Amino acid sequence: MMHDARCLASEPSTSRPQPLGFRKFAPRICSGSKAVAPRRDKQQTRFVTNVITSTMARDRLSEQARQDLDAVRIRLDHQLKLVITPSLTGEAAPTLQKANDCQCDEHYRATPHYHPSQGWQPQPHHLTKDQLWARICEEAHQDAISEPALASNLYSTILSHDNIEATMTFLLSSKLACPTMLGMHLMRLMQEAFENDPRIMDACLADLQAVYDRDPACDRYTQAILYFKGFQAVQSHRVAHWLWQEGRKALALALQSRISEVFHVDIHPAAQLGRGIMIDHATGVVIGETAVVGDNVSMLHHVTLGGSGTSRGVRHPTIGHGVLLGAGVTVLGPVTVGAGSKVGAGSVVVTDIPCHAVAVGVPARIIKRDLLKEAVTDMDGVYEFVLDYEI
């Protein structure tokens, strides 16, 4: 091991780096992640109910309003493929009673084509894994010819490897390496994660396609891989999350700390992120331990998905599929932002937001419902807002 450390500190070798070997696997359609709700006895259940009620000021709502909000949460849990449990009061789970709660079904029947708020699905214009790797190599080769100063970097990061797994392993380990976390150790760790859980790379490819589709500043796949720290931070988190699920929590937390130092993005390794995630600019993004982020979510810099209270239960937000969170948005507590919704820059969300709604302000208020235009399709942070709205 000391030999590895000396090799990393020595002059770079002029020989061709040997590509890392990875097991081949077929891409799989997103199956979603499941979160198992902890068991609670009746006394503890009543305590958690009181905490959430007082924190979110739900005691000021009518019984019907509470049922409506719970119904939206259950609908979103179903979309995120989480485990559905009875309400905290022990009563039967409420059902959707009003058409205004969520117009997903009606909207989808009217326009049967794909919607980002339905979850991640590969689209016809998306490249396959082999096509994507060929495109990345072609772009790197072109950049190496046009800019010789980058040739060495492009060769060591992309062109010397046989697949995207090896490229991501080398890139992330190089970024995160430090005197107490050697690059060789991180390479072996990430190689182990990619080999043992192919879903990590499936999600990485979905994130790459999402950045290319939604970020108007990105016109090359290599641009996102090499230079976008939001993309790099999410992929690093996926490895830390794998470690957390494997019970290697100390190492997962150490990796999280290093990710925060390097990318200025702090995502707890227990947080669950879906596919097709884009974090633009990324500086200052914080996502807490029990947060759940669905597929096709886009967020900008300084977004906070924070906790509320000191309880050990769920204390962070659940973000639905296809949600757009503007710059500086803060979502606090175990609230739900429904699928296809949009939250304006600088808003503070402390209550549930239904599906396909537009919210803005401090605290955030719903200014439009039944939003038919998918928020993440064009990343428009101004459209649908009331420009003369007074807070």
Inform me whether the pLDDT recorded for 220 exceeds 80: yes
Label residue 111 by pLDDT band (50, 70, 90): low
Q: Is 240 helix (H, G, I), strand (E, B) or coil?
A: helix
Q: Which residues contact 288 (CB under 8 A, 6 or more apart)?
A: 268, 271, 305, 306, 307, 315, 316
Q: Tell me the mean pLDDT in the region 90-113.
A: 45
The backbone torsions φ and ψ at residue 161, rounded to the nearest 5 degrees and listed phi first, read -110, 160
349, 365 Cβ separation under 8 angstroms: no
The backbone torsions φ and ψ at residue 226, rounded to the nearest 5 degrees and listed phi first, read -90, -30
- Rounded-to-integer distance, Cα 119 and Cα 114, Å: 9
Q: Report in angstroms the alpha-carbon separations of 144 from 138, 157, 162, 315, 344.
A: 10, 12, 17, 48, 40
Inform me whether the pLDDT recorded for 26 exceeds 80: no
pLDDT tens digits for range 134-176: 999 999 999 999 999 999 999 999 999 999 999 999 999 999 9
- Rounded-to-integer distance, Cα 226 and Cα 231, Å: 9
Q: Do β-strands 324-325 and 298-299 pair in parallel, antiparallel, or remain unpaired?
A: parallel
Q: What is the pLDDT of residue 38?
A: 47
Q: Report in angstroms the alpha-carbon separations of 174 from 156, 181, 182, 233, 349.
A: 11, 10, 9, 13, 37
pTM of the full structure? 0.73
pLDDT tens digits for range 229-267: 999 999 999 999 999 999 999 999 999 999 999 999 999
Label residue 311 by pLDDT band (50, 70, 90): confident
